Structure 1
């Protein structure tokens, strides 16, 4: 069962081709692995109707003050 919508599959394939062609050699597959991990996470969201509904809703309310990021 495919969980990604057709347009997402098309985008995944296009991104995979781009990453593979953008200087990513077969010696370093890190960029491809990151891309596939991101798309696996997207597929997991699509596979869970409750999570998909939650992610698809616009946030509401005030989340309070933002604190500065100290890295």
Structure 2
């Protein structure tokens, strides 16, 4: 199994060029999620979950490729964010 992951890690940048912007730990997470999702999608005979997963990871790569956007999205908020409304129970 480990050799399969290594092969995927090597060919992934050619198949999904945007994946080169993902940090190593995110690449590992994507490969694990992709393997799990592919098994489930194959069992359902529905590839839509794979397309959705790849779309989500592509958006992550877009953020990593834009340092200004990454800085905005990963910084701690400044100051008090204001009051939080009390949760309501649906009747």
State the SS of the aligned residue for 1:31: helix
Greater relative CO (CA pairs within 8 A, separation 6+): 1
Give the paired residue count: 68
TM-score by length of 1: 0.78
- Higher-Rg member (1/2): 2
Structure 1 residue runs without a partner (length 5+): none
Q: Which portions of structure 1, spanning 4 or more consecutive aligned residues, are displaced by more than 3 angstroms? A: 61-68
Q: TM-score, normalised by structure 2?
A: 0.62
Structure 2 unmatched runs, 5+: 1-16
Structure ranking higher in helix proportion: 2
